[in-house]
Homo-oligomer: A and B are copies of this chain.
Amino acid sequence: MPEKEKATIIVFSSDIDKVFAALTIATGALSMNMDVTLFFTFWGLNVIRKENTTKKKIGIIRKLFSKFNKGGAHNLKLSKFNMGGIGTHLMKNIMKKVNMNDTQTMLKTAKTMGAKIVACNTTLEFMGISKNDLINEVEKTSGVATYIADAKKSKINLFI
């Protein structure tokens, strides 16, 4: 049996609109029988982080930084017109109106369809997030070498 065609998407952003785009492409590729890896890094780690997490023992600086950088797929914001939350709220309402799934549901769907959900371990440490704080859908944490190995065999590579 020939190997499946691959798509590898780096999810760098935690903007809800960009995460939505990444997950739409991922589920689209999965439904066309491709192998999909979603490599979450930097702000994107917030997408795959549990809502309420016990912090790793981190210094005061990272603690301060993480104050501004909240986890959980339903804390994501719009990249534009957030306007203190109003724009994001409007967007979520529109998504319901047009019967779209929210990003949490889309992530679970992608996982069920076979997506590999990977967390970047370099930025995990940097963000002061422990592996225990990641949602169950995450298959593994890995570094840039694993990403490169996947990406160079992929038909579709995106940085979102």
Contacts from A to B (Cβ < 8 Å): 5, 7, 10, 12, 17-18, 21, 24-25, 27-29, 31-32, 34, 41-43, 59, 61-62, 64-65, 68-69, 79-81, 83, 87, 90-91, 93-95, 97-98, 100, 122, 125-126, 128, 143-145, 147-149, 151-160
Q: Is the CB of A62 within 8 A of B97?
A: yes
The answer to whether residues A148 and B69 also contact, given A21-B41, A94-B61 and a CB cut-off of 8 A, is no
Residues of B within 8 A of A97 (CB): 59, 61-62
Q: Is the CB of A21 within 8 A of B34?
A: no
Question: Closest Cβ of chain B: how far from A80's Cβ, in Å?
Answer: 6
16 further A-B pairs in the complex, CB-CB below 8 A; given A10-B158, A69-B80, A152-B156: A12-B17, A17-B43, A24-B144, A25-B144, A25-B147, A28-B145, A34-B152, A59-B97, A61-B94, A62-B94, A62-B97, A64-B90, A65-B81, A68-B87, A98-B125, A159-B160
Q: How many copies of this kind of chain does the complex include?
A: 3
Question: Closest Cβ of chain B: how far from A2's Cβ, in Å?
Answer: 14
